Chain A
Amino acid sequence: MSIVAPQTKPPIWRNGTVLKWAAQIGVFAGVAALGWILVSTAMANMRAQGVSFDWEFLTDPPGIQLAEGIFTRPASGLEVFATGIVNMLRITVSGIVAATFLGVVIGISRLSSNWLLSKLSTFFIETIRNIPLLVQIVFWFFLCSLFFPALNGVDAGPIPGWLVVTRKGISLPWIFPQQTFWQWLVFVAAGVVAARWMVRRRVRQLEETGQNTHPGRYGFLVFVAFAAVGWWAHPLAGALGWVWQLLAGIVATVPLIGWQLVLGGAAVFLAARWIFRFLDSRRTPAGLARLTDDDYFRMFLAGALGLIGAGVFLLVPGLTDLIARVTEFVLRFFDAKFDFLRTGAPLALGRPSIVTPGRFPQIGPTGMTLTPAFFGVWVGVTLYTAAFIAEIVRGGILAVSRGQTEAGLALGLKRGRLLRMIVLPQAFRIILPPMGNQYLNLAKNTSLGIAVAYAEPIQVGQTLFNQTGDTIQVFVLWMAFYLAVSLVLSSIVNWYNRKLALVER
């Protein structure tokens, strides 16, 4: 600013700013054009072949039955997909938890000084990760459906009434939420908040006085107290039902144009707020810093997105209508879960049972039942992912400087404590990003369930397009779904990663 050099302005085709902008816009235009060509070619070919492109299959009755899930007799294509998605998420969520636990244990065992344990872990890892996952899934599936005991009658075991292992599936006792569960959940959530407050308070006291105030113990007690009171007091939370009802009524009564204006305004407001905060972040005590081309581009993008968003909301009333209807549906859903007069325990134990509705004995709905297909996919993806996680954990632990261990030993820490308090917290920072990749792999690998007829999105989608012929539409839905799941998973991992990262100043 202060130095004024004799500047000769470069010609426009060599001006860095212009070139950068041109490149950005050029790439964008290129991508958009490519997408347009692909889509329009596909559309033209489909028209030429007389294939229709519509979304009616989502609301039409599909006339098929699904093997397992929330809607085994779906009334619409949407219900077909919903069933597949829930089945997929069941495996993904429980698989991630189990694979993480198993992987950490095996990864640590591999580094154990116990020869047998270490060799067993190595054997497990090398076997599992060197066999294609598809083979493993089919193996576990066949193990269950061909080699487990046949389901012959009500006394199916090994422990009748508690554990049933048969060719038609495995059934376990399980704690199931009852109809008052949601009301109780309000108390549990309040318990979590209160426990956090208590822990922080005790930690502050600990830091001030130096005495051990047992923050964890106190926090846990507060949580248990809330949960215990809520176990009987939960009908009080039923009053929330009125709140949901009121909100749903508001959503339903405000005219569409009102919501369009609100959403459009929100888009513009968010964009404007982002731009101003961005400018604030570039401000130094000396005033606004020089903005780079990148900075301008970001602001341009934010502004453009905000305006486009507002435009879409105002010009496409269908979208706003959809959002309003989904919101209302969710609120009504919650409304149905809360009721003053509803009493009874929020959780109940369900035990496996055998029913014989016709000639064939079947596993009843009272226990937690894993069908052979679920068993195959779940065991397959969990073990496979656990093997990779174990290697990541081992790598993370080895990456922690040996001096840390030695220092811990010198302080007289026992092995277990050393691992828990010194090594693992440091290793965890290294472990987390690749761990996120494994979670994404696990989520996507569930699609192999089609090989064993597990009713996950690919299997049900394929069934659907074989009945309707709407292949492209189903592919679009598949891509959107897996993209959404992957983005959600990776943003969770990224958020956690940022939280754990060393705060540098």
Chain B
Amino acid sequence: MKTRIVVVVSILAMVLAACGTGAEETTTTAPDGATTVAPPDSGTTPAAQTGSDLLETVKARGTLNCGVNETLPGFGTKDTAGNFVGFDVDFCRAVAAAILGDANAVHYESLTAAARFEAISSGLIDVLSRNTTWTQSRDTDLGTDFAETTYYDGQQLMAKSADGFSSASTLNDIEGATVCTNAGTTTEKNISEAAAALGVTITLNTFEDFNIAMENFKSGACDILTTDGSGLVSKKATDPDGGGWVIFPSVPISKEPLGLLWISNQSRFGDVVRWTIFSMFYAEERGITAANVDAEAAAPRDGEIGRMLGASDDEVQSKMGLPKDAFYQVIKQVGNYGEVFDRNLRPLGLERGLNDLWTNGGLLYSPPFR
């Protein structure tokens, strides 16, 4: 019987030793295995590797997968016919017009603020156009790249004038308030840090669905609502009770440059998105609109317009992997930046402000097309 135990223990020791060396082998082979096995491995991660070019993927697919907002009138929402419309949606359309020649070749994914980044890294969408703030951590640590800002926004607060607020109110006036915002955004961090910096104590409720935050604000369960100024203006303009609300402070508590983003390491696709936006800035700067773009393309005023619209042979679009007339299609089908702004945001009462051309004192500035 004692011998039995000895046998058992020695077997244990032997098997264990075998297991141990086996484990060591796998771990030691792993590092060099990673380098040698890398080429076949790249096939399993299409969006991430330079081997599978996102621009080519989109062209082969024939549609652009674009992540948008469904709950923010003016930026991304559905019209009565069930089509996505809005400022952000128009940029999806512009990118599709540039790559595929058809502004309607877009498949929209309606995303919550919290789900949007996973949608990019999982490859569900090619590009995200959902009032998303360009921040250092998102640009670097999160594995995404941002295009030129399409809308310079800033976080503000909304309160009821019945509570004694006016557009001249400041953050000091919200002491002790219950503040509501949407989850998974930069806004919750901004308000937390701004309040902490002033020594103002607030209760912060962050809702996954901004509409729930909105209902709570209307009922009085939330005293203050905070998000990007444009979002507040949009909600105020579309809500029947909006007349009794005020937006403050006049200088926003944060900078919120909103723009398009996509997965890192896709420089060809990124160039296309970036220059699509520039073409819309430049078209406005030169007075090219959807209405007169045909005439401009037929007889360009100067070399730069000719190159941008693909009317002259020294155009650069074909070197980017695009059709010659890519930006002509953008202006023709979607319009220049000013037209997109006037169509979507002007009706809500938003002014151009920072989102005006550099020639008018704004921040929109396109590098030259040459």
- Whether B170 sits at the interface, judged by CB under 8 Å, is no
| Complex interface: chain A residues within 8 A of B215 (CB) | 142, 145-146
The total of Cβ contacts below 8 Å across the A-B interface reads 159
Contacts known (A50-B143, A67-B206); A466 close to B185, Cβ less than 8 A: yes
- Interface digits, B191-229 against A, CB 8 Å rule (1 contact, 0 not)? 111011000011111111100100110011101000000
Contacts known (A40-B30, A63-B193); A451 close to B164, Cβ less than 8 A: no
In angstroms, Cα B276 to Cα A21, docked, is: 64
User: Among residues 114 to 147 in chain A, which have CB atoms less than 8 Å away from a CB atom of chain B?
Assistant: 142, 144-147
A466 lies within 8 A of B183 (CB): yes
User: Among residues 433 to 454 in chain A, which have CB atoms less than 8 Å away from a CB atom of chain B?
Assistant: 450-453
| Complex interface: chain A residues within 8 A of B220 (CB) | 150-151, 167-168
| Complex interface: chain A residues within 8 A of B121 (CB) | 49, 51
A463 lies within 8 A of B12 (CB): no
In angstroms, Cα B208 to Cα A451, docked, is: 6
Chain A residue, CB-CB nearest to B18: A25
B16 lies within 8 A of A299 (CB): no
A356 lies within 8 A of B176 (CB): yes
In angstroms, Cα B216 to Cα A279, docked, is: 65
A300 lies within 8 A of B141 (CB): no
- Whether A59 sits at the interface, judged by CB under 8 Å, is no
Chain A residue, CB-CB nearest to B200: A358
Interface centre among B44, B192, B263, B265 (most CB of A within 10 A): B192
- Whether A327 sits at the interface, judged by CB under 8 Å, is no
- Whether A66 sits at the interface, judged by CB under 8 Å, is yes
Interface centre among A146, A300, A468, A469 (most CB of B within 10 A): A469
In angstroms, Cα B14 to Cα A303, docked, is: 12
B1 lies within 8 A of A362 (CB): no
A373 lies within 8 A of B205 (CB): yes
In angstroms, Cα B223 to Cα A453, docked, is: 16
- Interface digits, A456-498 against B, CB 8 Å rule (1 contact, 0 not)? 0001001100111101000000000000000000000000000
In angstroms, Cα B191 to Cα A462, docked, is: 18
| Complex interface: chain A residues within 8 A of B265 (CB) | 48-50
| Complex interface: chain A residues within 8 A of B114 (CB) | 462, 466
| Complex interface: chain A residues within 8 A of B83 (CB) | none
- Whether B5 sits at the interface, judged by CB under 8 Å, is yes
Contacts known (A145-B216, A360-B163); A64 close to B201, Cβ less than 8 A: no
Contacts known (A50-B143, A64-B192, A303-B12); A466 close to B5, Cβ less than 8 A: no
* B242 shortest CB reach to chain A, Å: 18
In angstroms, Cα B30 to Cα A417, docked, is: 69
B141 lies within 8 A of A36 (CB): no
| Complex interface: chain B residues within 8 A of A144 (CB) | 221
- Whether B142 sits at the interface, judged by CB under 8 Å, is yes
* B124 shortest CB reach to chain A, Å: 14
Chain A residue, CB-CB nearest to B169: A359
In angstroms, Cα B219 to Cα A453, docked, is: 16
- Interface digits, B166-190 against A, CB 8 Å rule (1 contact, 0 not)? 0000000111111000011100110
B219 lies within 8 A of A462 (CB): no
- Interface digits, B105-144 against A, CB 8 Å rule (1 contact, 0 not)? 0000000011001100100000000000000011011110
Q: B residues bordering A, Cβ < 8 Å?
A: 1, 4-5, 8-9, 11-12, 15-16, 19, 26, 30, 34, 41, 44-45, 48-49, 113-114, 117-118, 121, 137-138, 140-143, 163-164, 173-178, 183-185, 188-189, 191-193, 195-196, 201-209, 212, 215-216, 219-221, 223, 263-265
Q: A residues bordering B, Cβ < 8 Å?
A: 36, 40-41, 44-46, 48-52, 63-68, 72-73, 142, 144-147, 150-151, 167-168, 279, 287-288, 291, 296, 299-300, 303-304, 307, 355-360, 362, 372-373, 450-453, 459, 462-463, 466-469, 471
Would you list the 8 A-B pairs with minimal beta carbon distance, nearest first?
A357-B176, A358-B175, A358-B176, A466-B184, A145-B221, A49-B143, A469-B142, A48-B48
Other A-B pairs beyond A300-B11, A358-B174, 7, CB < 8 Å:
A168-B220, A287-B1, A304-B19, A357-B175, A359-B163, A466-B184, A469-B138
